[in-house]
């Protein structure tokens, strides 16, 4: 049973997805993920605080946070090997 995840800061999902117009693209939008080993661009929410949504660039191997930027901004350029 999934326990309620009442975390102070909560990851929602992959960021920079565009809501599709065509029906055929909904499978991709709903289910398919980049799931990168390395730099990941994600959408987080400060759930038990200011309720603010924000974007976060994170390395999925080292867990290092590489950049934090506002919703609607383009992802920053981060080299594949930026994280030590």
Binding site for another protein (CB under 8 A): 1-3, 5, 7, 10-11, 27-28, 30-37, 40, 42, 58, 60-63
Q: Which of 63, 46, 50, 39 is nearest to 6 (CA)?
A: 46
In angstroms, the CA 84 to CA 48 distance is: 31
Nearest residue (CB) to another protein, 43 versus 69: 43
Question: Nearest distance from residue 38's CB to another protein, in Å?
Answer: 8
**Cβ atoms of residues 12 and 44 within 8 Å:** yes
Residue 15 CA from chain centroid, whole number? 4
In angstroms, the CA 45 to CA 79 distance is: 25
Question: Nearest distance from residue 55's CB to another protein, in Å?
Answer: 14
Question: Nearest distance from residue 70's CB to another protein, in Å?
Answer: 20
Nearest residue (CB) to another protein, 52 versus 62: 62
């Amino acid at each position: 049973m999934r326990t309620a995840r009442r975390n102070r800061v909560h990851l929602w999902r992959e960021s920079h997805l565009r809501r599709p117009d065509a029906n055929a693209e909904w499978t991709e939008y709903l289910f398919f993920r980049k799931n990168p080993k390395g730099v990941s661009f994600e959408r987080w929410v400060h759930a038990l605080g200011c309720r603010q949504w924000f974007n976060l660039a994170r390395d999925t191997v080292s867990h290092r946070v590489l950049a934090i930027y506002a919703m609607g901004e383009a992802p920053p350029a981060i080299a594949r090997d930026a994280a030590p």
